Structure 1
Amino acid sequence: MKILFITNIPSPYRVDFFNLWGQFPNVELTVLFLETPEEHKGREKKWYHTNYTHFKPIFLRDKVALRNHVIFKDVFHWLKEKYDGIIFGGYAEPTYMVAMEYLRLHHIPYGIEVDGGLINKDSMLKFFVKKHFLSSANYWFSSGKVASDYLIHYGANPNKIIEYPFTSLTAKNLKDALGDISINDKNEQDWCKARGAYRRRAREMLHVEEPVMILSIGRFIKEKGFDLLFCLLPYLDRSTGYYIIGGKASYEIDQFLKEHNLKNVHILDFKTPQELSTYFRAADLFVLPTRHDVWGLVISEAMAYGLPILTTDLCGAGLELVEEGKNGVLCHADDKSSLEKALYKILKMDLNHLGFESYKRIQNYTIENMTLSHYNYFKSQNG
């Protein structure tokens, strides 16, 4: 089984996914990357790992500038080979677009994979561009119902959509998150008691003094919506601790915290996955006030640690994984009042019960299952 996958960067979860896929019998996987870790801006270098053991990584280099865009010409060298499957990790990159047009011209089938998708109010031109490229594939990999609805909106054949559990967690990551806690041999009461023990130990390690700890993780960029949360903090319960991880506080944030004497708000710089695990275990609630996230992997990571979720209705993972009132609450994106109401609402609920439901819901979201979905599809197509 010879597969070509074309994507943008070697993100850690993708590298794990490619390595697992490449270990299946008779699989020869080649992955074309548009950027190296060194070239990609906006991510700490510690975020990456480069263990390309079970697949062939190719970093495209021969590029030509076209106005404000870049197209890698050497993609055509790889498209001329014969494959059992070709997948694009999206559609919006100029290199993807020209490669898709090449494949259509030569009647070579290909698929598009989306990690998520939210239907927007597009201009007529933008809608037709999206529809042209998204509808032209022969099959589609979708991260769930929300993404499938997105694909169908832009012309995908619903009978050719393969849904897979999109995640950044391996089965080992999921097991290690809360160690010996298992939903298979514990009822909810026992699970909550064991989860509470992890919480207490983690808080001792982090010296968390507040009785309730709310955790947020994400880069301090406008899309993540942390400015909306900051505006609310002076008016919220000062006994609740807010731990926001994602970068150094700007001068403006520092001044804001001092001006309002917000000693219960803790701005923390980038943390490694191992460091983050302690914060996940220590927390009571996870909040992501994003303005727009086609997925939001940090949601599934928080659920793996048994955390209830508060996020917005423009977060793909929230729409797919959070059931209102069962394992979390959704608010309207870019709406400070809605965020405030959602915070008050969820903090009156049984957070332990919500966390238990989150933990149950996320158990099948592993990279192993994600890989199996892809392998089984191509196995069924190629015999």
Structure 2
Amino acid sequence: MKIKVAILQRVCTSYRKILFADLSALDQYQVKVFIGDDVANSKVKNTKDLEGIDLVKLSTSQFKVGQWALLWHHGLLKELERFKPDVLLCEGNSNLLSFLQAKYYRRRHPEAVLIQWSLGGLPGRIEPSRFNSKSIINRQLRSGVDGFLLYSSFGRDALLQEGVPVDKMYVAVNVSDTTSHLDRAAAIPDSPSEARHRLGLPERFTVLYVGTVEPNKRLEQLLAAAQTSAMAECSFIIIGDGHHIDNLQQMSRELSLTNVAFTGKIESSKLPLYYKSGDVLILPGRGGMVISEAMAYGLPVIVFQADGTEYDLVIDGKTGIRLPAGDADDIARAIKSLLDSPDTARRMGKEGQEMILNRYSSENMVAQVCRCIERTLRNRLPAEETGK
């Protein structure tokens, strides 16, 4: 008999859809994904292509309580009762009301298991003391959870510090659709110089930023680094759009930066050539999915405090550079070290690509999700129900 897995998400993004489709293709599971509408005034949106997965899309109400942006997926409990899952795999605080409904379902159906899928923690974020009200609430939310699926080893260690048992935690390093990116990288034979020529970019050492343009990305530090004399030989290509882009473009004009270009949002079909045009990817602030994407194209990655996945993916001096301070001088020094040693940059890029291919592929992520599901079930259910 197949294991019924209910996956509860705010929305279904393109990279998550591929993961869910891969899980659904496995013989041992019957997967159903429960999502809501796009989240207003945010980048949290459903992919346009939702074909190929068993999906329940629920109407959504959105409201704020203090700093909490809460989403209510209408009819979720009713749909869960109809599906009768063995496993509920749900986002945590980011999808709080659905998580609470999943907890309620598990309480009514103690034979089911509940797995919280989350960051676990963020680098650089000051966590409140154990006696802080937020910590107390988080501990209460985690009570009754059978397993924790974390984005990174950093997230696992953060929860370990908060008293979560290590045997309840599983790491599935959060990566993009690496299979597609590796295939696209292999399909473009161009060298970085040839790719720059095709895109009409200057023939210089090229630093890429790919992602949304928001305050938490800390792109002001990147622009401040770009104005230093050491960066005169570099081009900085900022790919993406967001609420903060007008401010950054104004800053670029005020600093008279001639080595910085803003492309805005580009079509996904054009992104591979941009990756091929780069010499290094920079992530000065929050983010994470872009790390595995860039590594699939053979780029070294310079990162400060992202989403925790950098602790697994960016091995300092081997697949990239981890910034100790993350300020403009720190960024400029890291870029200059690769500018002055192109062989080092190429070696880092090659080792990163091999890491994605052999260790942190999207296939590996699927395998780790399965491991979490099956071990959590085994720990929760009587032996005869797990085939032991």
* TM-score range relative to shorter protein: 0.7 to 0.9
1:104 CA displacement: 5.4
Residue 244, structure 1, aligned to residue 246, structure 2? no
How many pairs were matched up? 361
Shift of 1:337: 3.6
Residue in structure 1 matching 2:221, options 206, 211, 228: 228
Deviates more, 1:56-65 or 1:273-282: 56-65
Within 2, Cα distance between the matches of 1:44 and 1:311? 23
1:261 and 1:4, CA in 2 relative to 1: closer, same or farther beyond 3 A? same
* Compared CA separation, residues 4 and 32, structure 1 to 2 (3 A): same
Shift of 1:40: 4.5
Q: Structure 1 CA distance, aligned partners of 2:173 and 2:251?
A: 40
C-alpha deviation, 1:260, in angstroms: 3.8
Return the offset for 1:288. 0.8
Counterparts of 1:223 and 1:102, CA distance in 2: 34
Identify if the C-alpha distance between structure 1 residues 76 and 289 changes in structure 2 by more than 3 Å, giving closer, same or farther.
same
Match of 1:280 in 2: 275
Deviation at 1:64, TM superposition (A): 8.2
Tell me what 1:174 maps to. Answer: 182
| TM-score of the pair, normalised by structure 1 | 0.84
**Quick one: distance in 2 between partners of 1:310 and 1:141?**
26
1:109-188 to 2 correspondence within 5 Å?
109-115=113-119, 117-118=121-122, 120-123=125-128, 124-179=132-187
The percentage of aligned residue pairs carrying the same residue is 21
**Alpha-carbon shift at residue 243 of structure 1 (Å):** 0.5
d(CA) in 2 for partners of 1:339 and 1:71?
Answer: 41
Aligned to 2:383: none
Change (3 A) 1:262 1:67: closer
Which residue identity does 1:312 align to in structure 2?
F
Mapped partners of 1:52, 1:6: distance in 2:
17
What is the root-mean-square deviation of aligned Cα atoms in Å?
A: 2.8
**Residue 87 of structure 2 is aligned to residue 79 of structure 1:** no
Shift in Å, 1:25: 1.5
Contact 1:140 1:160 in 2 (8 A): yes
Of 107-116 and 371-380, the range deviating more from structure 2? 371-380
Change (3 A) 1:12 1:41: farther
Q: Deviations over 1:228-274 (max 9, x none)?
A: 11122222422211111112785554444344432221111111222
Q: Deviations over 1:174-228 (max 9, x none)?
A: 2332348xxxxxxxxxxxxx8xx53232122112223211111121111001011
Q: TM-score if structure 2 supplies the norm length?
A: 0.83
Q: Deviations over 1:109-167 (max 9, x none)?
A: 31111256326423311122222223531012223311211232333221122222421
- Kindly report which structure 2 residues correspond to 1:25-40, keeping only aligned pairs within 5 A, or say none: 25-36=27-38, 39-40=39-40
Please tell me whether residue 60 in structure 1 is matched to residue 52 in structure 2.
no
Q: State the 4+ residue runs in structure 1 displaced beyond 6 angstroms.
A: none
User: Which residue matches 1:188?
Assistant: none
Match of residue 12, structure 2, among 7, 10, 13: 10
The reply to whether residue 266 of structure 1 matches residue 261 of structure 2 is yes
Report deviation, 1:168: 1.3
Which stretch of structure 1 is more off in the superposition, 219-228 or 358-367?
A: 358-367
> Per the alignment, do residues 257 and 166 of structure 1 end up closer, same or farther by CA in structure 2, a change over 3 Å counting?
closer
8 Å CA contact 2:34, 2:56 repeated in 1: yes
1:185 is aligned to none
Q: What is the DSSP-based 3-state SS (H/G/I as helix, E as strand, rest coil) of the residue aligned with 1:110?
A: strand
The answer as to whether partners of 1:141 and 1:164 remain within 8 angstroms in 2 is yes
Q: Summarize the Cα distance change of 1:92–1:209 in structure 2 as closer, same or farther, 3 Å threshold.
A: closer
User: Which residue is 2:96 aligned to?
Assistant: 94
* Partner deviation per Cα, 1:348-367 (whole Å, 9 max, x = no partner): 34211111121111113333
Note if contact 2:314-2:321 (Cα within 8 Å) is conserved in structure 1.
yes
- Give me the whole-angstrom Cα distance separating, in 1, the residues matched to 2:335 and 2:59: 47
Q: Which residue matches 2:296? A: 304
Partner of 1:215: 208
Give the secondary structure class of the aligned counterpart of 2:191. Answer: helix
- Give the secondary structure class of the aligned counterpart of 2:93: coil
The superposition leaves residues 79-101 of structure 1 with CA deviations (integer Å, 9 ceiling, x where unpaired) of 33532211112334331342144
The unaligned stretches of length 5 or more in structure 1 are 181-193
| Corresponding position of 1:343 | 335
The question of whether the paired residues in 2 share the 8 Å contact of 1:306 and 1:359 is answered with yes
Does the Cα contact within 8 Å between 1:8 and 1:33 map onto a contact in 2? yes
